[in-house]
Amino acid sequence: MTAKGQGRTAFAYLAPALLVLAGLLAYPIYQLVLISLYDYGQEQVSGGAPLEFLGLGNYQELLGNQQFWGVLGQTVAFAAVCVVGTLLVGAFLAILATRVRTWVRMTLFLAALGAWSTPAVAGSTIWLFLFDANFGFVNEVLGIQGFSWTFDKWTAFGLVAAQVIWCSFPFVMVTLYAGIKAIPGEVLEAAALDGASAFRTAWSVTLPLLRPIILVVTIQSIIWDFKVFTQIYVMTGGGGIAGRNLVLNVYAYQQAFAASEYGLGAAIGVVMTVLLLGITMFYLRALRRSGEVL
Amino acid sequence: MRRWITESFVLVVAAVVAFPLFWMVLSAFKPEDEIISADPVPWTTRPTLDSFTRALTVANFGRYFMNSIIVALIVVALSILISFLAATALTRFRFRSRTTLLVMLLVVQMVPVEALTVPLFFLMRSVGDSVPVFGLNHLGSLVLVHLAFSLPFAIWMLRGFVAAVPVELEEAATLDGASRFRFLWQVLFPLVAPGLVATSVLSFIHAWNDFLFAKTFIISAVENQTLPLALQVFVKPDQNDWGAIMAGSTLMTIPVLIFFVLVQRRLVSGLAGAVKG
């Protein structure tokens, strides 16, 4: 077939995909930026009031807003706790999984698979029930009936973080386990023959070999935990009392759909996207530097 | 001796990890007075289906279950078709903008779709003015967004599977007189089926679990809600019907659990493959 014919057939095959992606991803991204530059409120949406171009006004309002900075800080801290927790639990269990018999490992993986596959909404409600002030099993065991985990800001955040770690450590564990298993036995034997201690082998042989995988799961976790929506929304009832448990994603939603400040909500969305793209760029560069070919 | 300690520890961890799910299923079968008892116990002597009945009749869970299934299955079917064609084009043909398209597919996956709720909300609102089925308050709007979100990853992942089919096979098929269309659907399609299974499971789970877009798009049409939202019907301040909530959660979790167990091997290797590109 001629090169031109190839191109034509290829685009015929690609057309449906391009149509969907252009209409439902590219165009909304463009719209997101556009809306964030306007004063877009209830009057404009349903009343037909004229749109007012604000330029960077929405961003100025955000940057001057105490609550925004608070929420941003909370988001970063919350994501950091979730990421570190997920990685530590996942890595620790992956290492343990290499040292036990198959049936024990399969039991652990099956349990993890259950946590992994639980839909976020269902998982959140189960945890809420387990930690319910009066009827929860945890309070019964701890003997603190009547204690509300979701009332206090920090216990509420802690509870949500625990739930997030519960459903996201399996990915880290399974991936790292596969990574450890893929290290050829000869390499470890050579290290042992050279007289390296178990710790030294782990630190100087296993860890460097696992670096690309660790990098991948770290960034993946950061991206996931930075935009947690369902767990926060369901477990703290839409961001906690007076919005003290808000994270960026829920904040954007509340600004847009509860307060009808669509322009402001879009601006928060843009900020979130830019932050995440920044992290992704950093990730790609780190990957390239570690010699990984994309 | 030391292995014995490690193994007991791992088993305890497994029990803790599995406990929330165990508690969910258990509570779904407990009679109501045991659920709202001040001394909950991790067993029941009087299992009952009352909670399931309540969930399915009072809250009309069956209807929402069907809605969720419909959305997820249509997304899966469309995404299989579209991503298979696109992946074939991107692996079997050489054309000028190919690399650009590949890079764009990768970049698009990095955009947090949650940030797009506002523009998508308005897009669906205006789409609904001309084609109501795809507008707000209709399941079609959910199908559209989940299709768009699942495509980039599906295409990216399928590429590998299509590339693994030797080109000689196509030449042989052509020599035997098979048309391009016939080769595509009768030779290539069955050969990449394993890849299609893995990607469709992911698309299914995405659509099935979605809470944000269902909440944003289905505003007033209660009959068109999906499971994640329906679950919230039982959540009332201070008087949650925990039995029904747990029964609903169980119903919602089971399909995903089955899927996960079926494809876990492929999922892990597929993810690793996708990560490595």
Burial A102-137 (b: 16+ CB within 10 A, else e): eebbebbbebbbbbbbbbbbbbbbbbbbbbbeebbb
Tens of pLDDT, residue by residue over B14-27, are: 999 999 999 999 99
Query: Which residue from A minimizes the CA distance to B270?
Result: A175
Tens of pLDDT, residue by residue over B77-86, are: 999 999 999 9
Residue among A132, A110, A124 nearest A166 (CA): A124
Inter-chain contact B264–A113, Cβ cutoff 8 Å?
yes
- Residue of B151 and B39 predicted with greater confidence: B151
Instruction: Tell me which chain A residues have a C-beta less than 8 angstroms from the C-beta of B93.
Output: 6-7, 9-10, 13
Secondary structure element (H or E) that encloses residue A39, with its range = strand A38-39
pLDDT of B209 above 50: yes
Instruction: Tell me which chain B residues have a C-beta less than 8 angstroms from the C-beta of A132.
Output: 240, 242
CA distance A205 to A183: 10
Residue A254: CB atoms within 10 Å:
19
Inter-chain contact A230–B88, Cβ cutoff 8 Å?
no
Residue among A164, A152, A183 nearest A233 (CA): A164
CA distance B37 to A106: 35
Tens of pLDDT, residue by residue over B67-102, are: 999 999 999 999 999 999 999 999 888 888 888 888
CB A149 within 8 Å of CB A156:
yes
Q: What is the ipTM of this complex?
A: 0.86
Helix (H, G, I), strand (E, B) or coil at B11: helix
Indicate the pTM of the whole model: 0.88
Phi, psi (rounded to 5 degrees) for A39:
-85, 100
CB B91 within 8 Å of CB B156:
no
Residue among A182, A277, A96 nearest B268 (CA): A182
Tokens of A125: 């409600």
Which of B79, B117, B213 is the mutation pick for testing A, counting most A CBs within 10 A? B117
User: How is chain A split into domains, by residue range?
Assistant: 66-289
Residue among B37, B44, B40 nearest A140 (CA): B40
Instruction: Tell me which chain B residues have a C-beta less than 8 angstroms from the C-beta of A266.
Output: 118-119
Tens of pLDDT, residue by residue over B161-186, are: 888 888 888 888 888 888 888 888 88
Q: Which residues of chain A have pLDDT under 70?
A: 1-3, 287, 290-294
Q: What's the distance, Cα to Cα, between the start and end of chain A in Å? A: 30
Residue among B6, B160, B192, B276 nearest A178 (CA): B276
CA distance A277 to B60: 42
CA distance B118 to A260: 10
Give CA torsion, residues A51, A54, A57, A59, to 10 deg: 70
Helix (H, G, I), strand (E, B) or coil at A52: strand
Query: Which residue from B minimizes the CA distance to A23?
Result: B148
CA distance A83 to A283: 15
Q: Give pLDDT, residue A294.
A: 45
A&B contacts, CB < 8 Å: 274
Domains of chain B (ranges, CATH numbers): 1-48 (no CATH), 62-276 (1.10.3720.10)
Instruction: Tell me which chain A residues have a C-beta less than 8 angstroms from the C-beta of B95.
Output: 3, 6-7, 10-11
Instruction: Report chain B's C-alpha Rg in angstroms.
Output: 23
pLDDT of B143 above 80: yes
Residue B40: CB atoms within 10 Å:
24
Residue A199: CB atoms within 10 Å:
8
Q: What's the distance, Cα to Cα, between the start and end of chain B in Å? A: 43
DSSP code of residue A55: T
Q: Give pLDDT, residue B219.
A: 86
Q: Which CATH number fits domain A66-289: 1.10.8.60, 3.40.50.620, 1.10.3720.10, 1.10.10.10?
A: 1.10.3720.10
DSSP code of residue A195: T
CB A256 within 8 Å of CB A266:
yes
Confidence of residue B272 (pLDDT cuts 50, 70, 90): very low
CA distance A220 to A211: 14
Inter-chain contact B14–A110, Cβ cutoff 8 Å?
yes
Inter-chain contact A234–B253, Cβ cutoff 8 Å?
no
